[in-house]
Amino acid sequence: MAHTVADLDIRERGIIEELSFDEIPLALMEMGCIPGKQVTLIQYAPMNDPLYISVNGSYFAIRKETAKRIILVKRLCDEL
Amino acid sequence: MSSKKKINVALVGNPNTGKTSLFNQLTGLTQKVGNYPGITVDKKQGSCRLPDGSLAAITDLPGTYSINPTSIDESIVLKTLLDADKKSFPDVVVVVAEVENIKRNLLLFTQVKDLKIPVVLVINMSDQMHRKGISIDVEELKKLLQTEIILVSARKKEGIHDLKKAILNYQNCQTNSLLNLFEKIDKSYFDEIKSSLKGFTLYKSWLLITQKSSVKFISEASKQVIEHFKKDQKKLKQYQHKETIYRYQYINEILKKTYLVDRAKAKDLRGILDKILTHRYFGYLFFTSILFLIFQAVYDWATVPMDFIDTSFSELSIWCKQILPLGVFSDLLTEGIIPGIGGIVIFIPQIAILFMFVATLEETGYMSRVVFLMDKVMRRYGMSGKSVIPLISGTACAIPAIMATRNIGDWKNRLITILVTPFTTCSARLPVYAIIIALIIPENRVFGVFSLQGLVLMALYILGFAAALISALILNKVLKIESKSFFIVEMPNYKLPSLKNIFFEVVEKTKAFVLGAGKIILAISIVLWFLASNGPSAFNKAQKTVTQENVDKNISSEDLEKQIASYKLEHSYIGIMGRFIEPAIAPLGYDWKIGIALISSFAAREVFVGTLSTIYSVGSGDEGTIKQRMAAEINPKTKEKRFTFPAGMSLMVFYAFAMQCMGTLAIVKRETKSWKWPVFQLVGMGILAYIAAFITFSLL
CB-based contacts of B654: which residues, under 8 Å, 6+ apart? B588, B598, B689, B690, B692, B693
CB contact under 8 A, A43 and B492: no
Based on the number of CB atoms within 10 Å of its own CB, is B370 exposed (0-12), middle (13-18) or buried (19 or more)?
buried
Per-residue pLDDT at A80 exceeds 60: no
Between residues B335 and B304, the one the model is more confident about = B304
Based on the number of CB atoms within 10 Å of its own CB, is B89 exposed (0-12), middle (13-18) or buried (19 or more)?
middle
Residue-averaged pLDDT of chain B: 86
**If residue B135 lies in a helix (H) or strand (E), which one and from where to where?**
strand B134-136
Mean pLDDT of B368-383: 92
| pLDDT score recorded for residue B626 | 66
CB contact under 8 A, B70 and A32: no
Question: Are B34 and B23 a contacting pair, CB within 8 Å?
Answer: no
Percent of chain B surpassing pLDDT 90: 37
Q: Does B486 touch chain A (CB under 8 A)?
A: yes
Per-residue pLDDT at B619 exceeds 60: no
Mean pLDDT of B639-657: 90
Mean pLDDT of A39-56: 91
Q: What share of chain B is helix, strand, coil (3-state, %, to 5)?
A: 65, 10, 25
CB contact under 8 A, A34 and B248: yes
CB contact under 8 A, A31 and B371: no
B 519-558 residues inside an 8 A Cβ radius of A:
none
Residues of A with CB below 8 A from B485's CB?
63
Q: Does B269 touch chain A (CB under 8 A)?
A: no
Q: Which of B8-22, B94-108, B346-360 has the lowest mean pLDDT?
A: B346-360
CA distance B700 to B695: 8
Q: Does B71 touch chain A (CB under 8 A)?
A: no
Q: Does B240 touch chain A (CB under 8 A)?
A: yes
Between residues B545 and A59, the one the model is more confident about = A59
Residues of B with CB below 8 A from A18's CB?
none
**In terms of Cα–Cα distance, which of B120, B244, B247 is closest to B179?**
B247
Residues of A with CB below 8 A from B274's CB?
42-43, 52
| pLDDT score recorded for residue B131 | 84
Distance from CA of B310 to the nearest CA of A (A): 45
CA distances from B221 to B209, B224, B226, B230, B232 (A): 14, 5, 9, 14, 19
CB contact under 8 A, A27 and B488: yes
Our count of domains for chain A comes to: 1
The pTM score is: 0.83
Q: Tell me the pLDDT tens digit for each residue of B418-431.
A: 999 999 998 888 87
Based on the number of CB atoms within 10 Å of its own CB, is B555 exposed (0-12), middle (13-18) or buried (19 or more)?
exposed
Cβ neighbours of B282 (radius 10 Å): 12
Q: Can you name the residues that pair with A60 across neighbouring β-strands? A: A53, B490
Q: What share of chain A is helix, strand, coil (3-state, %, to 5)?
A: 25, 35, 40
Residue-averaged pLDDT of chain A: 87
Per-residue pLDDT at B60 exceeds 80: yes
Between residues B115 and B294, the one the model is more confident about = B115
| pLDDT score recorded for residue B267 | 67
Mean pLDDT of B477-485: 80
Distance from CA of A69 to the nearest CA of B (A): 13
**Residue B682: pLDDT band with limits 50, 70, 90:** very high
Mean pLDDT of B351-374: 89
Per-residue pLDDT at B194 exceeds 80: yes
Out of B68, B372, B487, closest to residue A52 by CB:
B372
Out of A25, A30, A49, closest to residue B107 by CB:
A30
**In terms of Cα–Cα distance, which of A74, A70, A46 is closest to A56?**
A70
B 344-403 residues inside an 8 A Cβ radius of A:
368, 371-373, 375-377, 385
CB contact under 8 A, B241 and A24: yes
Is cis: bond before B422, omega within 30 of 0? no
| pLDDT score recorded for residue A8 | 92
Mean pLDDT of B607-613: 75
Question: Are B96 and A57 a contacting pair, CB within 8 Å?
Answer: no
**If residue B578 lies in a helix (H) or strand (E), which one and from where to where?**
helix B573-585
CB contact under 8 A, A46 and B248: no
Out of B103, B368, B372, closest to residue A56 by CB:
B103
| pLDDT score recorded for residue B38 | 56
CB contact under 8 A, A42 and B237: no
Per-residue pLDDT at B41 exceeds 70: no
Pairing outcome for strands B450-451 and B445-446: antiparallel
Question: Are B305 and B510 a contacting pair, CB within 8 Å?
Answer: no
Distance from CA of B410 to the nearest CA of A (A): 13
Residues of chain A in Cβ contact (below 8 Å) with chain B: 23-32, 34-35, 42-47, 49-50, 52, 56-63, 66
B7-13: strand order across its sheet: B32-35, B42-49, B55-60, B7-13, B92-98, B119-124, B148-151
**In terms of Cα–Cα distance, which of B40, B230, B17, B38 is closest to B109?**
B17
Distance from CA of B93 to the nearest CA of A (A): 21
**Residue A75: pLDDT band with limits 50, 70, 90:** low
Mean pLDDT of B579-597: 89
Out of A26, A57, A60, closest to residue B240 by CB:
A26
| pLDDT score recorded for residue B148 | 93
**What range does the domain containing A32 cover?**
5-79
Task: Give the ipTM.
Answer: 0.92
Q: Tell me the pLDDT tens digit for each residue of B547-580.
A: 887 777 777 777 777 777 778 878 888 888 888 9
Q: Which residues of B425-450 are buried (b: 16+ CB within 10 A; e: fewer)?
A: bbbbbbbbbbbbbebbbeeeeeeeee
CB-based contacts of B599: which residues, under 8 Å, 6+ apart? B577, B578, B581
| pLDDT score recorded for residue B455 | 85
Interface test with B, best of A58, A62, A65, A70 (most B CBs within 10 A): A58
Residues of A with CB below 8 A from B368's CB?
61
Distance from CA of A71 to the nearest CA of B (A): 17
Based on the number of CB atoms within 10 Å of its own CB, is B699 exposed (0-12), middle (13-18) or buried (19 or more)?
exposed
**In terms of Cα–Cα distance, which of B290, B426, B421 is closest to B350?**
B426
Residues of A with CB below 8 A from B491's CB?
42, 52, 59-61
User: Least CA distance to B274: which residue of chain A?
Assistant: A43
CATH number of residue A69's parent domain: 2.30.30.90
Interface test with A, best of B369, B488, B489, B493 (most A CBs within 10 A): B488
Q: Which of B297-301, B346-350, B459-463 has the lowest mean pLDDT?
A: B297-301
| pLDDT score recorded for residue B246 | 93
**Residue B466: pLDDT band with limits 50, 70, 90:** very high
Between residues B174 and B114, the one the model is more confident about = B114
| pLDDT score recorded for residue B3 | 46
